[in-house]
Structure 1
Amino acid sequence: MAMQLPSNKSRGRRAPMAEINVTPLVDVMLVLLIIFMVTAPLLTAGVPVNLPESRAKALDQEQKPVQLAIDDKGQIFVDDEPVDDAGLAAMLEQVAARKGADGKPPQIFLRADQGLGYGKVMRVMGELNRAGLNRVSLLTNAASK
């Protein structure tokens, strides 16, 4: 019986491994995919509003604007809190009292359902003007090309 002895050349050296185990990478990526799929719907705005479309560009903002939304039933929401028509003026005066670093009242983002009548939106805009909130942006969906 012959026995093969290791030679001096291969002593202490191993051949490089040419395989990569991708199973842990795939497992981690699938977990991340599931996490993003679950959390993405939760990041949408709190009040469902069917916005009209426009080709206007987005505005640059320095401070966080106040979100004012009017849903399809005419219910008004200020930063996702429902406000009745009688309490709207008082709420807007509180918002106007908050001054930014530049000494101006905060920017207002007005989102109104496209099925609403023009009068309801104009009444809310009149209350905004009366409270001194003149920096109002009307939000729309981006128009499809």
Structure 2
Amino acid sequence: MAVRLSDRTNRLGRTARHRMVSDINVTPMVDVMLVLLVVFMVTAPLLTVGVKVDLPEAQAKVIEGDDEPLTLTVKADGSVFLQEAPIDLANLAPRLIAITGANPDARIFVRGDKTIPYGRVMEVMGAINEAGFRRAALVTDLPRKKQRANNAKTGGGAG
């Protein structure tokens, strides 16, 4: 609480020297809210894993890039997701063209569950190719031993 000292006269003509002010101090609340805002801004990009699938392992290099790729996920039941939204293969090409602004060099990552038939992943890759995109890549997990070594070097997780 804050205390305001004043020399005003009250209704009876007496001088009130020490009068309490009943205003709420909002500075601590604003501080807490700003800290929470920063925490959420930092953690939000880390929560964009999307649809949970069991990826196969491969000995491929990690693809480096500075732009955010689109992610297509094929779950174990064969359903396809664009980012986190389910989508039919018939609607995939127009949606990709609309999202990327018809940029054929947009990066698209295809994440397929390791238990689905190879043909289903190739249907998705074919739809991407028919839409005119040239930079589609399959996403896999690093082998366990190599993943642990990579995590120790970078201090992060694999995706």
Partner residue, 1:61: 65
- 1:62 maps to a residue whose letter is D
Contact 1:76 1:82 in 2 (8 A): yes
Contact 1:96 1:105 in 2 (8 A): no
- 2:87 maps to a residue whose letter is V
SS across alignment from 2:63: coil
Partner residue, 1:107: 107
Structure 2 distance, partners of 1:59, 1:118, is 22
- The 5 Å alignment of 1:126-145 reads 126-145=126-145
Contact 1:96 1:131 in 2 (8 A): no
CA separation of 1:90/1:98 partners in 2, compared to 1, >3 Å: closer, same or farther? Answer: closer
Structure 1 distance, partners of 2:75, 2:47, is 19
Deviation at 1:96, TM superposition (A): 4.6
Structure exhibiting the larger radius of gyration computed from Cα positions: 1
Partner residue, 2:94: 90
SS across alignment from 2:144: coil
Deviation at 1:85, TM superposition (A): 2.7
TM-score (norm 2): 0.58
Determine whether 1:77 maps to 2:81. Answer: yes
- 1:61 maps to a residue whose letter is G
- 2:124 maps to a residue whose letter is V
Deviation at 1:44, TM superposition (A): 5.8
Deviation at 1:141, TM superposition (A): 0.6
Partner residue, 1:123: 123
TM-score (norm 1): 0.63
Q: Runs of 5+ in structure 2 lacking a partner? A: 1-38, 146-159
Q: Runs of 5+ in structure 1 lacking a partner? A: 1-34
- Give me the identity figure in percent: 40
Partner residue, 1:51: 55
Structure number with higher relative contact order (C-alpha < 8 Å, ≥ 6 residues apart) = 1
- 1:81 maps to a residue whose letter is A
How many residues were matched structurally? 103
Structure 2 distance, partners of 1:120, 1:95, is 23
Runs of 4+ in 1 over 4 A off after TM superposition: none
| Per-residue Cα deviation, 1:91-121 (whole angstroms, up to 9, x for no partner) | 233245354xxxx531001100011111111
